[in-house]
Amino acid sequence: MNIQEIYFEDYEIGHFRETFGRTITETDFVVHAGHTGDFFPHHMDKEWCKTQEFGQRVAHGTMVFAIGIGLSASEINPVAFSYGYDRLRFVKPVHIGDTIRTRLTIDRKHPDPKREGMGQVFEKVEVLNQNDETVLATEHIYLVEMRKA
Amino acid sequence: MNIQEIYFEDYEIGHFRETFGRTITETDFVVHAGHTGDFFPHHMDKEWCKTQEFGQRVAHGTMVFAIGIGLSASEINPVAFSYGYDRLRFVKPVHIGDTIRTRLTIDRKHPDPKREGMGQVFEKVEVLNQNDETVLATEHIYLVEMRKA
Amino acid sequence: MNIQEIYFEDYEIGHFRETFGRTITETDFVVHAGHTGDFFPHHMDKEWCKTQEFGQRVAHGTMVFAIGIGLSASEINPVAFSYGYDRLRFVKPVHIGDTIRTRLTIDRKHPDPKREGMGQVFEKVEVLNQNDETVLATEHIYLVEMRKA
Amino acid sequence: MNIQEIYFEDYEIGHFRETFGRTITETDFVVHAGHTGDFFPHHMDKEWCKTQEFGQRVAHGTMVFAIGIGLSASEINPVAFSYGYDRLRFVKPVHIGDTIRTRLTIDRKHPDPKREGMGQVFEKVEVLNQNDETVLATEHIYLVEMRKA
Amino acid sequence: MNIQEIYFEDYEIGHFRETFGRTITETDFVVHAGHTGDFFPHHMDKEWCKTQEFGQRVAHGTMVFAIGIGLSASEINPVAFSYGYDRLRFVKPVHIGDTIRTRLTIDRKHPDPKREGMGQVFEKVEVLNQNDETVLATEHIYLVEMRKA
Amino acid sequence: MNIQEIYFEDYEIGHFRETFGRTITETDFVVHAGHTGDFFPHHMDKEWCKTQEFGQRVAHGTMVFAIGIGLSASEINPVAFSYGYDRLRFVKPVHIGDTIRTRLTIDRKHPDPKREGMGQVFEKVEVLNQNDETVLATEHIYLVEMRKA
């Protein structure tokens, strides 16, 4: 982890980075169920899953999101604040043994209409599996300080 | 957990439910960091946090989301599918010892323009703390089957 | 989770419910050992287990009990209190990958001889595996309030 | 951990041992809820508990049992088998910060009426807190081989 | 766990003990990463590992050390204190599914040159896998009280 | 996490880096005990600890080592290999609520006498607490490739 100040003006549209991969294990399924309290059979009952569309356990959407975002937590920008996420979509299921990584691309930015001296930066987030398929997509919105004039 | 088939036509606008509460503990902070790999000092370093705006450790946004949604996982609707979330916003920080619960309200619905026989149902999700303040808000979108004509 | 008041008089002999299934994973074995401190090779050493009767790791009895009971924790009855369990028996071993569920049947009831206005309700608890074999059996005793006369 | 063969004839009535203590932490509460799926507010919601009889969170009965038994797992007797538990009773609540230990006393024994060459040994199990109050009591039944004549 | 006072004079050179085995699971890999924050792909990304020398995930060295030492934690000597470890070496990789055990041998001892009434005892620590190969070696140094003259 | 190739020749004596801090929580104590199986009362029994020298629970040495090293896992050098650690010393106890960070300094280096084209780099590792006291010290030895001539 490093600290690096990146101001609104410094964000370059199209700049992207990609994280290391992480294999999603049965352990992650069990930990996430226990962490959130969601023990739905879709995630926890391999016999029941055999009778369903995918034939096997499917990762919690909240887990793919939390781990996908967590993979990108490597640099602290003290002048940027997470405002929220838009259009979070679970594009494909993640199964036990899949390996995911996250690609983050600065998509667009504009001055914040309500907060003087701040801008909004939109980062496209794509979580990919080992076959380079997008499994989750969303847009991360940051509020970022502008350089003092 | 129960199974209950609820078709598109059955969703009533304005219907809401509220979950039990759950106290967010230091354990949850540590488990979430270990689960996601996000060990940012905002969540993990109480000394550093003393020097920051909130004066104490702040919960990961992804944790408030995952636990807030997990609290609502009590009933399975086999004819509904989670499509995604819109406008996920971290409204207020959650600290160690806060107790959160989730209020879910059916907000609006309309037939899916692309998928015949399916509708989209929009559920407003509010995670509240022990002071009835909203700490997280989002909108959950379901794809739901219509009754066979 | 719901809250529902069920008084002594309301319990119907023979009424039963069955929970969803949950696959018992290697993760559960490791978590239970770490949670309880019981690292006996019967649960943790697959090489040693190859030399023993079952040829593979066997679940802790306390885990099958705790998860089997946990599966049934879906409804709160504020006028009933858990008094204890009788005749807890480990009928068959549970191995990694088995899927268990719990069947609960109201077996009998009678007024509590010592506590005025209370009754004892006996619930038969059977934990079953994916082959519908009973792996654990016990009897759960509740103290339940009677309706005010 | 050691291995020691103790045959039916070797068990002495009245022999007892006492384990080390272990402080039951908020972490144990959270781990047990996540391990079993029982997130009842009695264990997890400190605000709700303030409105209840004990005024604070109460440990899961299954956790006090599992940890209480786990504390005693220090010696393997290869000629003894756990048959089950009788009269498991939750005598007093365990709260966050209590320190428990387990006292085990050989209470009685008799030849097994159905299994030739085997005997039943009954061990009294008491889980005590830091004030020497019994919080859980039960009786552990072992099937133990007799010495070859 | 037992307590046994063993004074400096009581340690016999060449005395050794060997622990039970423990299978190192994928769960242990995930728990250790989450516990330490080390999510290097060597331990976590099975796809990337396929392209590397060992072809599969490799255990964290700190995990083999921590679990190898933990296996030996069965007896408390109140007159001995852990001073540190010398020459900690990761001799061979440990993979998911390997079963390790620890062999501990009293190697040598001498009076502590600086602390009157104390001695230094050197215990050779070898962590072995299921093929009796040493995977980790180190030397544990204890400071031990001498008997009062 | 980044990948950066640093050859033997590139290591500068005296170069140092310092990690972010991490507060060591009661959760970490419980997780480490469960992960390693070391439930010694020094780490787990707050009542017993009140009667001992430090008056409170003391962190496992293996945990301070594993987390201290884990804090530094932020950059991958594909031409360096961890060979082991020397002179690992537990200088001061770590208690619940202490915040640790790790300072790593390149101390010295020399060509490997046995492995042609490789060198040994010695990195001084100091784990510090919130009062800037060293709680653990050791020396990490790397085998590092030399640049091709």
Q: Per-residue pLDDT tens for B69-113?
A: 999 998 899 999 999 999 999 999 999 999 999 999 999 999 999
For D16-57, what is each residue's pLDDT tens digit?
999 999 999 999 999 999 999 999 999 999 999 999 999 999
Neighboring chain F residues of D23 at a CB cutoff of 8 Å: 44-47, 57
Burial code of E91-122, b = ≥16 C-beta within 10 A, e = fewer? ebbbbbebbbbbbbebbebeebeeeeebbbbb
Backbone conformation region of residue A55, classed left if phi is above 0, alpha if psi is from -120 to 50, else beta? left
What token pair was written down for F125? 């590792």
- Candidates B26, B27, B38, B126: best to mutate against A (most CBs of A within 10 A) is B38
Q: At residue B8, does pLDDT exceed 70? A: yes
| Per-residue confidence band for B149, with pLDDT thresholds at 50, 70 and 90 | low
| Per-residue confidence band for B11, with pLDDT thresholds at 50, 70 and 90 | very high
Q: Which residues of chain F have pLDDT under 50?
A: none
Neighboring chain D residues of F45 at a CB cutoff of 8 Å: 20-23, 99
> Cα separation of F101 and E92, whole Å?
29
- Which residue, E103, E139, E140, is CA-closest to E18? E103
C63 touches chain D (CB under 8 A): yes
Query: Chains with 3 or more CB pairs closer than 8 angstroms to E?
Result: A, B, C, D, F
D46 touches chain B (CB under 8 A): yes
- Mapped onto helix, strand or coil, the DSSP state of residue F74 is coil
Rounded percentage of chain D residues whose pLDDT exceeds 90: 95
Q: Which residues of chain A have pLDDT under 70?
A: 1, 149
Q: Provide the pairing of β-strand C134-145 with D75-76.
A: unpaired
Neighboring chain C residues of B2 at a CB cutoff of 8 Å: 74
Q: pTM of the predicted model, to two decimals?
A: 0.97
Contact C138, D83 (CB under 8 A): no
B78 touches chain D (CB under 8 A): no
For E55-100, what is each residue's pLDDT tens digit?
999 999 999 999 999 999 988 999 999 999 999 999 999 999 999 9
Q: F45 to chain D nearest CA, in Å?
A: 5
Question: Could you identify the residue written with the tokens 């995952």?
Answer: B66
Domain locations along chain E = 2-145
Chain-chain contact of A34 with D39 (C-beta, under 8 angstroms): no
In the predicted model, what is the mean pLDDT of chain F? 96
A33 touches chain D (CB under 8 A): yes
For the segment B117-125, the average pLDDT, to the nearest whole number, is: 98
Q: Which residue has the higher pLDDT, E55 or E1?
A: E55
Of B26, B28, B99, the CB nearest to D47: B99
> Cα separation of D13 and D121, whole Å?
9
Measured CA to CA in angstroms, residue C83 lies from D18, D49, D98 at distances of 25, 19, 21
Burial status of residue D129 (CB atoms within 10 A of its CB: 0-12, 13-18, 19 or more): buried
Question: Could you identify the residue written with the tokens 């041992």?
Answer: D17
Pairs of CB atoms within 8 A across C/F: 14
> Cα separation of A14 and A108, whole Å?
8
D87 touches chain C (CB under 8 A): yes
Handedness of CA F59, F60, F66, F72 (dihedral sign): positive
pLDDT at position E149, please?
A: 64
pLDDT at position D149, please?
A: 64
D20 touches chain E (CB under 8 A): yes
Neighboring chain B residues of F27 at a CB cutoff of 8 Å: 26-27, 30-31
Q: At residue D125, does pLDDT exceed 80? A: yes
D31 touches chain B (CB under 8 A): yes
Pick the CATH number of E2-145 from 3.40.50.880, 3.10.129.10, 3.40.50.150, 3.40.1280.10: 3.10.129.10
| Per-residue confidence band for C149, with pLDDT thresholds at 50, 70 and 90 | low
Contact A24, A99 (CB under 8 A): yes
For the segment C41-51, the average pLDDT, to the nearest whole number, is: 97
- Which residues fall within 8 angstroms of residue C149, CB to CB, at 6 or more apart? none
Q: D46 to chain C nearest CA, in Å?
A: 17
- The ipTM (two decimal places) reads 0.96
Q: Provide the pairing of β-strand F99-111 with F16-18.
A: antiparallel
Contact A136, A111 (CB under 8 A): no
pLDDT at position F149, please?
A: 65
For the segment B7-15, the average pLDDT, to the nearest whole number, is: 97
Of E20, E22, E27, the CB nearest to C26: E27
Q: Which residue of F has its CA nearest to C37?
A: F37
Contact E19, C19 (CB under 8 A): no
Neighboring chain F residues of E32 at a CB cutoff of 8 Å: 35, 66
